[in-house]
Structure 1
Amino acid sequence: MTQKIIALVPMRHESVRVPGKNYRILAGKPLFHHIINTLLKVPELEAILVDTDSLEIITGLHDHFPDVKVISRPEHLRGDQVPMNEILIHDTSIIEADFYLQTHSTNPLLRPETVSAAIGAFLGAIPEYDSLFGVTRYQTRLWDQLGRPINHNPNILLRTQDLPPIYEENSCVYIFERQTLIKRRNRLGERPLMFEIPAREAQDIDDELDFIITDMLYRQIHGE
């Protein structure tokens, strides 16, 4: 049976660390254009929904992506301290689906093939897993804030490639059901599946340096 999967992409107008980053130009286009173009190439997605409080983004979507559904974020969900899960609860009430896939405009290097692979991995893992999230694999010597080793024994100097891997939640992709989201107030269920994404593809824009690096990587990958 075909599952109805809807993509959700929240985009705020304001950004503290990188002003206006969601519509700032990256590799010749507003940042949000890149993730929308990626999602439009994912055949498993039935629709794309963008939740935003930005008139600039709304106008850009209407002009360039008329098939994308736009939801104006309610005033009570626009504050800096509003949890993303509360925004997702609102968005999933707007459009019904079997599963929702969430990503961000700050992941412009994410490929449509990777999104499709994540969907396939998740659908193939039901019912053992009830949700999915993207991760980046690291094999390096890590320490906590008290100077304690996290994933290695300092007295046994293993090669980094032989260290047990550590995984970072990279925010590139989440897949979940609305009932899980409501029950747990969390897009991750009780049995989430980790889906590994290559580090370069998982590049996320959190600050100015990230923006510069991602712009350079995008141009290198696409030969610009």
Structure 2
Amino acid sequence: MKLRATISIAILLTSLVWAQKSPRLESAMTVIESTLPRKAKGHPEAYPNAIVMYDSVTAPDGKHLRTIITKPRDAKGKLPVIFVAGWLSCDSVEAPADTKDESGLVFLGLAQLQEFALFRMDKQGVGDSEGDCAETDFESELTAYRAAFRAVKNYDFIDANRIFILGISNGGGFAPLVPESDAEQAQVRGYISIGGWVKTWFEHMLEIERRRFALMGKSPGEVNDRMNGAATLY
């Protein structure tokens, strides 16, 4: 476990260095498939030492979702892949060249690692993906990530038995649920969780409410009475 933690930290630190140092070149190769029209107004991602593929995957509900896959330009043989399980908010995983977003900077770096491929997906209603993000429930989002996970094997340059799942925020909590079957779980070589959660939403809210009532100066008895109402509410 210590080795995996060291590897994960090294990858993230290296990615930030790459993001700061690597310029974009006009000769960079970006491929955009035509099944899913591009909605974003900015330029697609492009790197001097990586090939970028804008592809798509079909979710169980029939919606076409944008996937962005990068691989080192001079890669030979099959590569391990970093598969991203994203956050709760309706923000794209695409990383524009001028991004100042911390997650975007990480993606800029990870996309240029010479030892890994990178696989990202925009969930329903985000970026180029079809659907309505605000109306997407957890089950729909999770099954979409599962469809994307299964699509990894469609790329001949990816070693589908060496998948590292990077879960960010909400994705850091549900990342272990993405590989559904025993066979899929065996494909995963490690997890990296950033800002994830370790308890249910119900437990999370009750913990907040108990602290809030105490800070309001309520007596222990009053806190308990109010917690009964909070438990019913949540």
TM-score normalised by the chain length of structure 1? 0.31
TM-score normalised by the chain length of structure 2? 0.30
Q: Which has the higher helix share?
A: 2
